[in-house]
Amino acid sequence: MYELPKLDPPKLKGLFKPSSRFRSSSRLVLIIVFSSIVFGFLGGALGSSLFYFQIKDYLNKASNNNNQFVKQESLTSYTPQTSQEKAIIDVVEKSSPAVVSIIISKDMPVYEQYYENPFKEYEKFFGPMPEFKIPRYKKKGVEKKEIGGGTGFIVSKDGLVLTNKHVVLDEDAEYTVLTNDGRRFSARVLAKDPVQDLAVIKIEREKSVNGEGKMVLRPFPTLSLG
């Protein structure tokens, strides 16, 4: 049999070995890319920080300017534009200490909820019935609640208050007068006009010590009529 001659395969080792110039170029490219990423990140972080502090400084200055503007506005008193407007403001400032609020309180029933089976009483005739419960309410007691209110004004230094009749129409209710300076007084109804919607209630004056050390009744600010 004829034998083919043996051929040695070509040696490829070192055929594709990169040159030193190629390796240097690749290393340089990697260094440039890495440096660009690092410096880009640092530049972005630095720019964001500077932008944040600039915005913060701007907002602080704007807030301080706004506070100064509000303080100046609050310190500046309003000047009436016309004589009629000035007269109205004077009347309001003079009469406001005598204007009072009237609080209406009353004992109101308190109810408690419970559940009941309406078919329970039929069990003695028909045996066990299905469990079916409906809500029921029973009176548990009374509780004093504020049910309304109105306004009035003090017309005498000893505590007479003029108000509307419909405000104090409920004879079972209790009435409390709240003055402009925050004090509370129990009031009693003295009179109701049978025709006009007017009524007079009375509050008792507080006791206080005067400059001489004597116990006196503190007068109320009043609104003059007529």
The structure tokens listed for 125 are 């005739």
Mark the ranges of the chain whose per-residue pLDDT is less than 70: 1-56, 58, 62-77, 122, 127, 129, 208-216, 224-226
Distance between start and end Cα atoms, the chain: 151
CA distance linking residue 5 with residue 68, whole number of Å:
105
Pairing, β 99-116 against β 184-192: unpaired
User: What pLDDT was estimated at residue 15?
Assistant: 46
Of 169, 191, 193, 175, the C-alpha closest to 100 is: 175
User: What pLDDT was estimated at residue 28?
Assistant: 63
User: What pLDDT was estimated at residue 23?
Assistant: 57
Domain edges within the chain = 87-121+135-217
16, burial (CB in 10 Å: exposed 0-12, middle 13-18, buried 19+): exposed
User: What pLDDT was estimated at residue 161?
Assistant: 92
Of 143, 131, 186, the C-alpha closest to 161 is: 186
Return the SS3 of 186: strand
Pairing, β 134-154 against β 99-116: antiparallel
**Any idea which architecture 87-121+135-217 has in CATH?**
Beta Barrel (2.40)
pTM: 0.53
Sign of CA dihedral 19, 23, 26, 28: negative
Write out pLDDT tens, residues 172-185. Answer: 999 999 988 888 99
DSSP type of residue 170: -
Pairing, β 160-163 against β 134-154: antiparallel
User: What pLDDT was estimated at residue 12?
Assistant: 47
